[in-house]
Amino acid sequence: MNAEIFLNQLKQSQLPLIAILRGITPKDAQEAALLLVESGFRFLEVPLNSPEPLKTLRIMADTVGDRAQVGAGTVLTTTQVSQVRDAGGQLIISPNYSEAVVKASVALGLTSLPGIATPSEAFAAIHAGACGLKLYPAEMITPAATKAMRAVLPATIACLPVGGIQPSADQMREYCNAGASGFGLGGGLYQAGMSMKTLHSNALRYREAWLQSLLA
């Protein structure tokens, strides 16, 4: 996996949104994965600070791995990178930039999406082989800041704001006009203990917001 391939995958997915399922448990893994994929999502993240995350990840990968990329978030060590790979994960997403984590992910053929907040971190991550950049936290990285960073970053690297992204066409459009390639969706999409009915409703709201954001 490299940056250009991942950017093309985002574009071809028609819904370049990463579903972040922090706090999800194995008992909801299969149903959540199915309803998200049926709602158009093609990128699913199980943060490693969730209950039994590797078990949940394995269930999701077995359930929808042929239709979506499933992976882990809050990946902080190279040991965790290997554990995610062994559980069937393809995405390695972190809140920070770690050269060791990025290089370990790339060496295993996984998609590395480190968290960055400055141009210096962004270029260091790209140099290490990152496939895309998680602009985190987006509450601090405004559309104006995104535009400023995007102006100097390679066009082939995906930039995905994460944090505080709402099912708002206006918000998404403003970020995309500034150069965002997609988004990571956290608490606005799913929170621990949420019913699958509510998750489904939220997923559809985000999908509609994305589609509306594409309109002039």
Using 50, 70 and 90 to split pLDDT, how confident is the model at 1?
A: confident
Q: Which of 113, 153, 150 has its CA nearest to residue 129?
A: 113
Instruction: Determine which one of 45, 52, 99, 208 is catalytic.
Output: 45
99 in active site: no
Average pLDDT value for the chain: 98
Query: Number of structural domains, the chain?
Result: 1
- CATH of residue 151's domain is 3.20.20.70
Q: Which domain holds residue 51?
A: 3-213
Instruction: Indicate whether this model's pTM tops 0.95.
Output: yes
Query: What pLDDT score does 150 carry?
Result: 98
Per the rule left: phi > 0, alpha: psi between -120 and 50, beta: everything else, 23 is left
Instruction: Determine which one of 31, 55, 134, 139 is catalytic.
Output: 134
In whole angstroms, what is the distance from residue 120 CA to residue 100 CA?
A: 17
In whole angstroms, what is the distance from residue 71 CA to residue 89 CA?
A: 4
Over the stretch 115-162, which tens digit does the pLDDT of each residue have?
999 999 999 999 999 999 999 999 999 999 999 999 999 999 999 999
Over the stretch 109-121, which tens digit does the pLDDT of each residue have?
999 999 999 999 9
Structure tokens at 82: 């290997």
Query: What pLDDT score does 216 carry?
Result: 64
Q: Where are the alpha helices (DSSP H) in 152-195?
A: 169-177
174 in active site: no
Element (H, E) at 43: strand 43-47
